[in-house]
Structures are given as structure tokens and as C-alpha cells.
């Protein structure tokens, strides 16, 4: 009876985690993870002078990053519990659809699997992914210990964003170790492109003209127009970074066209910011920010595959 009861408990926990994943880890998160790794690895290879095509190691990195994003989502669900009880009462942990113990067991399994898969690629890969996972947990501790990190959204961004940089570093270090990317300064500089792309989305999704002083919004600190401008500036940084690394003015023919494509993509976040500043929308539209990221990553992948 004991073993049957244990099996039923494990099954119930697995079911709750599956439902949590279905609710909190939407398909576009997975799509983002796939495109992020492909675009990052491809761009780093391109700007360090190597021909690039996805390989088995690329697939491993995609799987690892996809599960690490789920791991970080699980961390956020627990560290934001008190905030979600007020502002997001339908979240699975708030409603009891999933238990904290379920999430922690899943996190351990993800950490072990991600570490083992990364170690199969290289020691450097395993070290970098372990660092990202540990930093994710450290964020939870820092937010519990320091109220300013919980309540000051700009400080919170400064403290929390490095976990994204660590995942970026994991992909680059792992790709260098497996020979997909050259060990040159340009590989590190590529991180600027991806930081700008993500941060324009981050600012856009937390910008509104509505008075919501009880919510964590960048517009509460920067003002509605200031926050919208920050989102657009980050998009410009992403595109400028790509152009500076790919140098389309030194190319000709089809290569030049493909290298310049990132520039007109700025019209997408610019349109979203215009609609918000013009008063068409009370909240900054998030869809243009999402479309910009996905379109930019697709362009970066195309550049990596086509440009010499």
C-alpha cells in the first residue's frame, strides 16, 4: 500500500507540474527560447568569422535553455507569491493548483538534467548553466532579504536582469567550446543586441498611463512617455549593435540587403510607442514588442545562414 500511495503522490505531483507548465509556460515562451539560441549562436559565429549551421550541440543548448526558462518561471512563481496574491490571484501557486513542493522537486530535476546535458558538451557549459541556475535562486533570497529590491522596480531590474546575461553567456561559452563560435571579442559584444531586444519588451510590458501606484511599473518611476522612450531606445540599441557587428555598408548585393534588414524593424516598436503616446491605448501595447523580438531573431538567423 505504501508504494502504491507513493506512486499516486508522484503522479499527482507530476500532473500539477504539467498543468502549471501549460498555464505559465506558453508556446511563445518556447518559441522565444528556440529563436534566442539559434540567433545568438548564429550571430556570434557570423561576427567571429565562422560558417554556421545548427548542429547536435545546438539542439542540446536549445533544450537546456528551454528548461532553464521554465526553471526561472518556477522561481518567479514562488518569490512573487505575496505580490501575486494581490495582483494576480489566478496564478497556480496562489490558487493551490500547484504546490511549492512540486515546483521545488521539478527545479531539482531540471537543474540535474540541464547540468548533465551541458557537461556532455563541455565543462565550461556546465559551469555557466550552473551559475545561471544558482543566480536564479540567489535572486529569490535577495528579494526576501532586501525590501528595496522588491519595491524599487529599477533596482529590481538591475539585480534580476543578469540572469538573462548568464544564460546568454552559457550559449556563447558553450558554442565556443564546441567550435561553433570563435573566441573573439565580437562574440561577447553580441550580448548587447540581445539585451536591447529583451529590455525593450521588458519596459513595454510594464508601462501604462493608468494610475497604479500599487503595481511594479516602470512608468511609475520614469513617467509614461519616459518609459515608452526607454523601450524604444533599447530597440534602437539592439539594431545598432547588429549593424555595428555585421557592417552592412561593407557588403554588396543580396548580402547588403540582408545585413540592412534589421534597421526597418525599428518601425515595429516605434508604431507601438506612437499608439501609446498618442493616447490610442492606455497601456503600452505589448504585441509590437513581442513581434520585434521574434522578427529580429529571425533576421539574425537569416544573416548567420546567408552572409559569408
Domain assignment of residue 165, given as a range: 12-183
Which pLDDT tens digit goes with each residue over 262-295? 999 999 999 999 999 988 888 999 999 999 999 9
State the total domains in the chain. Answer: 2
Average the pLDDT over 194-210 and give the result: 95
Give the pLDDT score at 3: 62
Residue 7 inside a domain? The answer is: no
Residues 126 and 263 occupy one common structural domain: no
Per-residue pLDDT of 38-74, as tens digits, reads: 999 999 999 999 999 999 999 999 999 999 999 999 9
Pair 199, 234: CB distance under 8 Å: yes
**Res. 183: pLDDT tops 80:** yes
**Same domain for 65 and 88:** yes
Residue 3 lies in a domain: no
86 and 206 assigned to the same domain: no
Final residue of a structural domain among 183, 200, 218: 183
**Is residue 203 domain-shared with residue 127, that is, in the same domain?**
no
Q: What is the pLDDT of residues 128-147, one digit of tens each?
A: 999 999 999 998 888 888 88
Q: What is the pTM of this model?
A: 0.92
DSSP 155-210: HHHHHHTHHHHHHHHHHHHHHHHTTSS-SSHHHHHHHHHHHHHHHHHHHHHT-BSS
What pLDDT, on the 0 to 100 scale, is given for residue 181?
A: 98
Each residue of 76-98: pLDDT tens digit? 888 887 778 877 888 888 888 88
Query: What integer pLDDT is reported at residue 30 of this predicted model?
Result: 92
Amino acid at each position: 500500500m505504501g508504494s502504491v500511495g507513493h506512486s499516486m503522490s508522484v503522479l499527482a505531483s507530476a500532473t500539477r507540474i504539467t498543468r502549471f507548465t501549460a498555464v505559465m509556460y506558453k508556446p511563445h515562451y518556447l518559441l522565444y527560447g528556440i529563436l534566442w539560441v539559434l540567433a545568438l549562436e548564429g550571430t556570434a559565429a557570423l561576427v567571429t568569422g565562422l560558417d554556421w549551421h545548427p548542429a547536435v550541440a545546438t539542439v542540446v543548448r536549445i533544450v537546456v535553455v528551454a528548461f532553464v526558462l521554465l526553471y526561472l518561471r518556477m522561481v518567479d512563481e514562488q518569490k512573487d507569491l505575496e505580490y501575486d496574491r494581490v495582483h494576480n490571484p489566478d496564478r497556480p501557486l496562489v490558487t493551490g493548483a500547484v504546490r511549492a513542493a512540486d515546483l521545488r522537486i521539478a527545479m531539482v530535476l531540471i537543474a540535474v538534467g540541464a547540468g548533465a546535458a551541458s557537461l556532455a558538451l563541455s565543462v565550461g557549459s556546465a559551469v555557466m548553466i550552473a551559475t545561471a541556475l544558482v543566480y536564479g535562486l540567489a535572486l529569490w533570497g535577495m528579494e526576501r532579504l532586501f525590501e528595496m529590491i522588491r519595491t524599487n522596480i529599477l533596482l529590481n531590474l538591475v539585480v534580476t536582469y543578469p540572469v538573462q546575461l548568464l544564460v546568454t553567456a552559457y550559449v556563447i561559452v558553450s558554442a565556443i567550446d564546441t567550435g561553433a563560435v570563435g573566441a573573439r571579442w565580437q562574440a561577447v559584444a553580441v550580448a548587447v543586441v540581445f539585451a536591447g531586444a529583451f529590455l525593450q519588451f521588458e519596459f513595454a510590458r510594464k508601462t501604462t498611463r493608468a494610475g497604479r501606484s500599487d503595481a511594479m511599473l516602470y512608468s511609475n518611476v520614469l513617467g509614461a512617455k519616459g518609459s515608452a522612450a526607454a523601450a524604444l531606445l533599447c530597440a534602437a540599441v539592439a539594431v545598432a549593435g547588429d549593424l555595428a557587428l555585421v557592417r552592412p555598408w561593407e557588403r554588396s548585393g543580396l548580402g547588403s540587403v540582408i545585413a540592412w534588414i534589421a534597421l526597418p524593424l525599428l518601425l515595429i516598436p516605434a508604431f507601438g510607442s506612437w499608439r501609446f503616446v498618442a493616447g490610442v491605448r492606455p497601456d503600452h501595447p505589448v504585441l509590437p514588442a513581442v513581434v520585434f523580438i521574434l522578427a529580429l531573431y529571425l533576421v539574425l538567423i537569416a544573416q548567420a545562414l546567408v552572409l559569408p
